[in-house]
Amino acid sequence: MSATGPGGREDLRAALEAERADAVARVAGLERELASALEVAAEGTADDEHDPEGSTTAFERAQVAAVLEQVRARLAALRDALARLEEPGFGTCARCGSPIPAERLAARPWATTCVGCAAR
């Protein structure tokens, strides 16, 4: 059975849905963490460069914000992949038109390029 065949597509759909659910939960958690950090910063002193517990709170907020942006980007890629799943070209490299190997789709079901094009 190919990754883009009927059963293969259902396996990919299940993988994409599971990844999407994980990403949604992670976004929610990171948003809560960022909101909490911002609330603490608003209530605390403005001098977070001298936090006795280690890294600055500004650095930690920036780190959470960066991870949040990455997870949101992955969530968008997952949504796009779910929308493309039923299109005739799903599983075909967007750059060269070659089939994307089933192994790549199993590992990265949101992939839009074959391994060769992704490496370029």
Q: Quick check: is 104 in a domain?
A: no
What count of Cα atoms within 13 Å lies in the side-chain half-sphere of residue 10?
3
pTM of the model: 0.74
Q: Quick check: is 100 in a domain?
A: no
Number of domains in the chain: 1
Torsion over CA of 95, 99, 105 and 106, rounded to 10 degrees?
Answer: -160
User: Amino acid identity of 55?
Assistant: S
Q: Quick check: is 115 in a domain?
A: no
**Residue 103 φ/ψ, nearest 5 degrees:** -65, -40
Q: Which domain holds residue 75?
A: 6-89
pLDDT in tens, the chain (120 residues): 345 555 678 888 998 999 999 999 999 999 999 998 888 777 765 555 555 655 677 888 899 999 999 999 999 999 999 998 888 888 999 999 999 998 998 888 889 999 999 998
Q: Quick check: is 79 in a domain?
A: yes
Helix (H/G/I), strand (E/B), else coil: 11: helix
